[in-house]
Amino acid sequence: MIVKPEIMRGGLVKNPHPIGCKAVVEKQINYMKSLPKFSNKKRALIIGGSSGYGLASRIALAYGADADTISVSFEPGVNDKRLGSAGWWNNIWFKEQAEKDGLIAKNIIGDAFSDEVRQQTIDMIKKEFDGKIDILIYSLASPRRTDPKTGITHSSVLKSTVGEIAAPTLDLNKQIIVDGKMMAATKHDIDETIKVMGGEDWQLWIESLKEAGVLADGFKTTAYSYDGADGTDAIYKKGTIGAAKRHLEKTALTLNNELHDLQGEAFVTVAKALVTKASAFIPLFPLYGCALFKVMKELGTHENTIEQIDRFMRDMLYGNKRITDEVGRVRPDNLEMDDNTQILTNAIMSKMTSENFKEISDFAGFYQDFLELNGFNVAGVNYDASIDIDTLKSKQP
């Protein structure tokens, strides 16, 4: 079977390329192997460790801190209609390589919002990880969440808290700028989005793990967030997403207090704008990303996902170069938020049209990152070669 990218309406890629996903994982691992370690051995739990910042965190900890890791993610496997998800294959390829390198790598596939998966994780920590973990990375992105206490399923929405606004974006299938708008949010919309994307589930994880006695002394936890610059202010800070992120920040303060007896800490990490499964479909963001990438590459400050996470962990998580803001968030997005970078980025965005955006921005780089999310257009992979589906089906995360 020969696998080609099938980009559907809205920019969703229907099928991943399993061998391409392997190459992407190996590229990140090889990057970390080229660097010195940044910490002594750790035991890490990553909630949402199958792609994006979560996957990069798993790789960085494994190869920068010799970490044994557990990843919890909800990823569909191979069936008659599709070749699984990119995250499914990322889990498989990471586990395969990590075990070859003498590390413990466990994948739990299931609903991270459920009490059952939390208990399964606790049991695994007690059995496989000497009963303790040193760090939990929370990097979960989901449009829905079922509250384990009430059984009610909540759905997040992308809406504005300041009234209806214009929200042009890129159609990645047709490769054109399309007009759009973000509808005004109701209080119900805001509350629903906070239930899904706020800090409630992160808090449930930490409190459950602490009650079970599986958090080591000096335990650290962080949840990834994005703050947004002027170019995306209407979507993030003034959107339902922003309301959820403020809740996440309040949760971090609560958790930080709860970890004092372990000499631990909890904080929100504001990461750089990058192409992820979630960000590629947020209005305005692709236009901002294309402009930002061009500016940062020309200035020599651009970082891809693994480079960003390595610098964060090396300098700010386990190093002595932590950058924080007035509300205590850790800010590895400092290079993106540089004043000159933002001025140049906004100048490009103000000139963008469907006719010129490919020439005046780094659309090519943004689109390349988008394809790589699903294992396509990766150097060294023969996309004309047939894939043995039956052999791949036998692999399990």
**According to the annotation, is 212 in a ligand binding site?**
no
Quick check: is 236 catalytic? yes
Reading the block at residue 10, the tokens are 């809205």
Catalytic residue among 236, 288, 318, 367: 236
Q: How far is the C-alpha of 284 from the C-alpha of 158, rounded, in Å? A: 12
Per the CB < 8 A criterion, the answer to whether 60 and 313 are in contact is: yes
Is 245 known as a binding-site position?
Answer: yes
Question: Per the annotation, does 295 bind a ligand?
Answer: no
Q: CA–CA separation, 219 vs 210, rounded Å?
A: 10
Task: Give dist(CA 317, CA 363) in Å, integer.
Answer: 32
Question: Alpha-carbon distance 73 to 71, whole Å?
Answer: 6
The 3 state secondary structure assigned to 143-179 is CEEECCCCCCEEECCCCECCCCEECCEEECCCCEEEC
Instruction: Check whether 284 is labelled as a binding-site residue.
Output: no
Distance (Å, whole) CA 279 – CA 228: 12
- Does 216 show up as a binding residue in the annotation? no
Token pair of 315 as six digits: 């300098």
C-alpha distances out from residue 78 to 19, 71, 87, 108, Å: 14, 19, 12, 16
- Residue 275 in marked binding region: yes
Cα torsion angle, 228, 233, 234, 238, sign? positive
> Binding site annotation covers 365?
no
By the 8 A CB rule, do 391 and 78 touch?
A: no
Q: Return d(Cα 282, Cα 136) in angstroms, integer.
A: 26
| 134 carries a ligand binding annotation | no
Question: What does the CA dihedral 371, 373, 377, 382 come to, rounded to 10 degrees?
Answer: -140
User: 48 a known binding residue?
Assistant: yes
- Cα 216 to Cα 59: distance, rounded to the nearest angstrom: 21
Q: Helix or strand or coil: residue 214? A: coil
CA distance linking residue 23 with residue 21, whole number of Å: 5
CA angle 252, 45, 318 (to 5 degrees): 65
Could you tell me which of 140, 95, 175, 119 has the C-alpha nearest to residue 395?
95
Task: Establish whether 218 is an annotated binding residue.
Answer: no
| 52 assigned to a ligand binding site | yes
DSSP secondary-structure letter at 83?
Answer: B
140 marked ligand binding residue: yes
Q: Has 121 been labeled as part of a binding site?
A: no
- The answer to the question of whether 254 is labelled as a binding residue is no
- 53 annotated as ligand-binding: yes
**Any known ligand binding at 274?**
yes
Tell me if 56 is assigned to a ligand binding site.
no
The two tokens of residue 191 are 């509350």
Catalytic positions are 236
Annotated binding residues: 48-53, 74-75, 111-112, 140-141, 226, 245, 274-276
Binding-site residue ranges for NAD(+)? 48-53, 74-75, 111-112, 140-141, 245, 274-276
- The annotated binding site for substrate is made up of 226
